[in-house]
């Protein structure tokens, strides 16, 4: 941690106006109780641009605004990795076809979320149940499942404690078949599934049961469309396009929470282990992507989502172009009355037109070990944090069901755009209702 004022909870930047409900005796700044710290952005100045896939409009239906285009990375000349990097905006008709979560994310009824609304402390029965939930869900969709099991001492235990990161991949079948791991780049959606050890019985609905379940909905929303796209590509047999096609990854991390106070040693156990492992595990020589880290197109981290009235700033100038795409989608979905929180609700993503990014401070979270190794990060975390943060009130009853569903829809639309899936979406939502069928009413 460099030049950051260390607390047992997040350090807050002065430019953010955050509510607080207790005063940290270690510090003169008011802070919320709990985890994470702000640290100097300088610590991450090595965040090199690993932007192998500039999402510019070389072949896209380029309706990008001038402001958006200006924030995007420079165009690359066509190469064997560029066609998948084009960005095709969803049409209005396409937006209407985004699958709605319906009641699948309902805290009391939802098959995706309800099983996660239990304490999920590292190396406990609840944690194993959460992992089993992911295994069953992604296994049923026939994704490739991976586990990163490791043990290490913690501040509470000199004996090594077992942790388990989980990821599931959906890759172009021709690359999967030929085991071309070094040729597959992926968009990665990330959340942590562990919950804080204290207070006892803490659920962590926004932190991060709901983000995990939202990501599951996103995966379900795109699964069949991706497969239809790839089936068509195989039929067409365009080797150039096929070599260029990307995969998709869901990464659910263990051990994000501190066992005692948030420090660089007592926090983000899973992320630190995995970033190190992925950096040092090399793909075969001559691979396009030398290791797992370099094959991450964008690391989209969802955290502290599901509370009412979220506000998510754009944290990184380098990935502001991606933030703008997501913010654009929110604006369009809202204008078309396709979000449950309603047309007139304040924007979840208000920073589309932001041009000045203060240097200096940032939120510590699971992205840090990846950021420091040069991975591009889109951090979707509410600031200010939800009022229920790290309290017993961060439970299912305090989730805003409309907001939870809307996040799932916005992120689904983002992934659909990323992969150009509009032609492969079904009018019937592949068995889920679409956002337009849902209308603007909560069904429950």
Catalytic residue set:
256, 303
Looking at beta carbons only, is 143 or 259 nearer to Zn ion? 259
Looking at beta carbons only, is 138 or 315 nearer to Zn ion? 315
Q: CB-based contacts of 14: which residues, under 8 Å, 6+ apart?
A: none
Q: CB-based contacts of 237: which residues, under 8 Å, 6+ apart?
A: none
As a whole number of angstroms, the distance between CA 118 and CA 212 comes to 13
**Smallest gap from residue 257 Cβ to Zn ion (A):** 5
**Smallest gap from residue 330 Cβ to Zn ion (A):** 24
Task: Please tell me whether residue 430 adopts helix, strand or coil conformation.
Answer: helix
Q: Tally Cβ neighbours within 10 Å of residue 358.
A: 12
What's the chain's length in residues? 444
Looking at beta carbons only, is 333 or 382 nearer to Zn ion? 382
**Smallest gap from residue 207 Cβ to Zn ion (A):** 4
Q: Is the peptide bond before 211 cis (omega within 30 degrees of 0)?
A: no
The residue whose Cβ lies closest to Zn ion is: 207
As a whole number of angstroms, the distance between CA 429 and CA 444 comes to 19
**Smallest gap from residue 196 Cβ to Zn ion (A):** 5
The residues of the shown chain that bind Zn ion, judged by CB under 5 A, are 35, 207
Query: Which residue reads 């924030």 in tokens?
Result: 71
Q: CB-based contacts of 202: which residues, under 8 Å, 6+ apart?
A: 119, 195, 196, 390, 391, 392, 394
Looking at beta carbons only, is 172 or 211 nearer to Zn ion? 211
**Smallest gap from residue 34 Cβ to Zn ion (A):** 6
Looking at beta carbons only, is 183 or 366 nearer to Zn ion? 366
302 near 173, Cβ under 8 Å? no
Q: Tally Cβ neighbours within 10 Å of residue 135.
A: 14
């Amino acid at each position: 941690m460099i030049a950051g004022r260390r607390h047992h909870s997040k350090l807050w930047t002065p430019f953010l106006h955050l509510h607080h409900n207790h005063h940290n005796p270690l510090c003169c700044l008011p802070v919320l109780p709990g985890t994470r710290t702000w640290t100097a952005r300088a610590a991450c100045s090595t965040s090199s641009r690993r932007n192998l896939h500039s999402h510019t409009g070389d072949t896209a239906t380029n309706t990008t605004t001038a402001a958006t285009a200006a924030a995007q990375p420079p165009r690359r000349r066509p190469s064997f990795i560029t066609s998948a990097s084009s960005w095709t905006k969803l049409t209005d008709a396409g937006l209407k076809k985004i699958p709605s979560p319906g009641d699948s994310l309902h805290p009391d009824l939802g098959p995706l979320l309800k099983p996660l609304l239990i304490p999920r402390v590292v190396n406990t029965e609840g944690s194993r149940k959460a992992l089993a939930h992911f295994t069953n869900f992604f296994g049923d969709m026939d994704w490739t499942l991976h586990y990163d099991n490791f043990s290490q001492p913690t501040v509470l235990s000199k004996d090594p404690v077992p942790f388990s990161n989980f990821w599931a991949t959906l890759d172009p079948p021709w690359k999967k078949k030929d085991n071309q791991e070094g040729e597959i780049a992926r968009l990665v959606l990330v959340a942590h599934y562990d919950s804080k050890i204290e207070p006892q019985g803490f659920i962590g609905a926004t932190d991060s049961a709901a983000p995990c379940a939202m990501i599951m909905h996103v995966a379900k929303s795109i699964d069949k469309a991706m497969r239809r796209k790839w089936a068509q590509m195989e039929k067409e047999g365009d080797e150039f396009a096929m070599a260029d096609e990307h995969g998709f990854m869901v990464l659910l991390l263990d051990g994000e929470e501190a066992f005692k106070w948030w420090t660089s040693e007592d926090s983000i156990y899973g992320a630190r282990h995995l970033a190190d492992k992925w950096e040092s595990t090399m793909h075969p020589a001559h691979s396009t992507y030398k290791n797992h880290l370099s094959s991450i197109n964008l690391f989209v981290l969802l955290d502290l989502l599901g509370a009412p009235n979220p506000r998510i700033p754009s944290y990184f100038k380098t990935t502001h172009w991606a933030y703008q795409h997501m913010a654009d989608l929110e604006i369009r979905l809202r204008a078309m009355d396709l979000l449950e929180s309603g047309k007139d609700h304040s924007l979840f993503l208000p920073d589309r037109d932001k041009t000045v990014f203060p240097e200096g401070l940032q939120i510590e979270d699971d992205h840090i070990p990846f950021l420091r190794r040069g991975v591009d990060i889109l951090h979707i975390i509410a600031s200010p944090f939800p009022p229920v943060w790290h309290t017993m009130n961060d439970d299912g009853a305090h989730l805003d069901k409309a907001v939870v569903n809307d996040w799932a829809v916005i992120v689904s639309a983002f992934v659909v755009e990323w992969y150009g899936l509009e032609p492969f979406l079904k009018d019937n939502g592949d068995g889920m209702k679409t956002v337009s069928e849902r209308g603007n009413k909560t069904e429950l």
